[in-house]
Amino acid sequence: MLTTEQVRTRLAAQMAEAGGATAWGRVHRVSPSYLGDVVKGRREPGAAVLRPLGLVRLEHAYDEAPSQVARS
């Protein structure tokens, strides 16, 4: 499994190999501004980015919230 930061690093490396965000985005039909936002951490990587990287997002786990203290 990869962390979000590792996905960003992988994306940045592939963009650099392709000649930049515009070139990578053109091939994979993703806007360069969205790619920049993902790499800089302003947005989460979605399917449009994950699919070309050969990745899928796994569901997050959920847990019980601690009991609320009753107010009088």
Domain borders along the chain are 4-53
The pLDDT, as a whole number, for residue 9 is 98
Which amino acid is it at 32? Answer: P
The pLDDT, as a whole number, for residue 69 is 64
Q: What is the pTM (predicted TM-score) of this model?
A: 0.80
Q: Are 50 and 7 in contact (CB under 8 A)?
A: yes
Radius of gyration from C-alpha coordinates of the chain: 17
Q: Are 38 and 11 in contact (CB under 8 A)?
A: yes
Report whether pLDDT(72) > 90: no
The pLDDT, as a whole number, for residue 70 is 60
The pLDDT tens digits of the residues spanning 13-48 come to: 999 999 999 999 999 999 999 999 999 999 999 999
